[in-house]
Structure 1
Amino acid sequence: MDEKAAATLDFELPSEAATLRLGAALAARVAAGDLLLLRGDLGAGKTALARALVQSHLGAHGLSDDVPSPTFTLVQTYESPALLITHVDLYRVEEPSELRELGLGEAVDEGVVIVEWPERAEAKMKRLSHDRLDISLSLVPEGMRHARLEGSGSWAARLEGLTI
């Protein structure tokens, strides 16, 4: 698929349960080589969405694991018989040299990489994978959240028919 081909979907997330359903729906569509970039202010639901995706994928393979925020460890990995998922939080990354130590390129080659705060390394993130899903989460009135999904590469087609 053409690099410029993209698809966009918007979802209202009125509750944590809706965020969990979105994570489960995405878990059913992830594949090796994918890069998922999660943007949004503190408290917008990035970690909750990543956690739901990881737990849903593991659960589909009869596995379970605690999925903590990688804010302090920077990287957490989860493995199923089908896929290696690497969950990264760049909030505390200050220097580009720190990115090299994380091995993100290798992680994308081996499985799926979910990155919170990708804007801390935007140029590097966009070079990591053609199959990219950009997810922007925002807080809206009355405690609801809004999710905008923009799929590039094979994600443009995989977003078709996605419902929560």
Structure 2
Amino acid sequence: MIGKMICLQSSSYREFLTEKKAPIYSRMIVIMAGVIYGIMGIYANAGFIASFESELLRNVAVPFIFILFGLFSVWLTRLGLAVLLWAGARGFGGPGNIGDLNRGAAVALIPGLLAIPGLTGAGGGLLTWAGVIVALIWMYFICVKIHETTQGFQGWKAYTSVFAVFVFFASIYYILVPPGL
């Protein structure tokens, strides 16, 4: 079902939202993505981690902190995306349904795994940027499907509401990220 959602099959979104285990699946997606983000952070900072003299720090504590940071970052991103999708829905006259948006937001994070090398500094160059761009476009279309399913938006309304959400999200990101990164 989640695979069909990733492939943008409209009926799978309604099926997912009516599934009793959808909250569990959403949490599992967040945990999986968070651990992957943490592992990529470890990979990107391997030289820094290796510089610690204490074996306990080098092999346990610091990697554990990276994994926790990955989990927190993905959880916070899901929460932020859900709130922004809610705001976009309400701004365009939808009912909101924050619970459905929150569960759907977890699925929207899956394509974001393509952007992790760019976000952690583990990769560089054209391929990394291509991954970030593909992830953002794919996430956009998943969020459109989420708005179509949860808000009853069709056509331009779904695309415009999600576009507004992404513009706002990008502006927040621009404000928070230091220049030069």
* Common topology (TM > 0.5): no
Structure exhibiting the larger radius of gyration computed from Cα positions: 2
Structure ranking higher in strand proportion: 1
TM-score if structure 1 supplies the norm length? Answer: 0.28
